[in-house]
Amino acid sequence: MDTRQDNPDALLDAHFAALRAELAEHDAPRCVEKELMQAFTRQFAKQRPWYRRWSLPHWGAAGAFACVAAAVLLVLAPQRLVTVGPALVGFDDGAAFIALESLERIAREPDTRLVEADLPQSALAPLGVPVDPQNADGTVRAEMLLAADGHPLALRLSASN
């Protein structure tokens, strides 16, 4: 048998024509096709995704409920202060201490003492305290928290001289 012919469809045309003629004589009633299609649709029904099972009013009600629940949780939740990093300023009886070391080191220090000193105003500029250039040669009364080895841990400005 030679399968390398130029037009294989030409050989089959006669056979297909005979099949078509035979099938044309056998017609199924109209209602059979309709019933078959309905049965096929029932058996292989396309499942809708979860988000399409709800209609627009259902989603609107769910959104409103979520907003109300979030508002209630915000009102009833305990309020906490949000801090980004360790605080550099601590308050002690109304006066502010400026931490020169980390707060952990200050808390770990067993023996601290408070010493009063007169500091030049120019020494306060690196700490972020605004200094007037006209009074840069003046002094400021300050209290310093010292560690046992004499290293300054914190500074509190009391008054200018």
DSSP string for 35-71: HHHHHHHHHTPPPPPGGGSS-HHHHHHHHHHHHHHHH
Nearest Cα neighbor of 116 from 142, 148, 151 is 142
DSSP designation for 20: H
On whether both 69 and 29 belong to a single domain, the answer is yes
Kindly indicate the confidence band of residue 54, based on its pLDDT and cuts at 50, 70 and 90: confident
The boundaries of the domain holding residue 70 are 12-76
Those residues with Cβ within 8 angstroms of residue 45's Cβ, 6 or more apart along the chain or in another chain: none
- Token digits of residue 58: 């259902």
Is residue 127 predicted with pLDDT exceeding 80?
A: no
Domain boundary among 54, 76, 98: 76
Look at residue 61 in the predicted model and tell me its pLDDT.
Answer: 94
Classify residue 2: in a domain, yes or no. Answer: no
Q: Number of structural domains, the chain?
A: 2
pTM listed for this prediction: 0.38
Q: How confident is the model at residue 59 (pLDDT cuts 50, 70, 90)?
A: very high
Examine residue 72 and state whether it is found in any structural domain, yes or no: yes
Whether the predicted pLDDT of 124 surpasses 70: yes
Residue 33 lies in a domain: yes
Write the single-letter amino acid at 23. Answer: L
Shortest CA distance to 142 belongs to which of 131, 157, 127, 154?
Answer: 157
- 63-85 pLDDT tens trace: 999 999 999 888 887 666 554 45
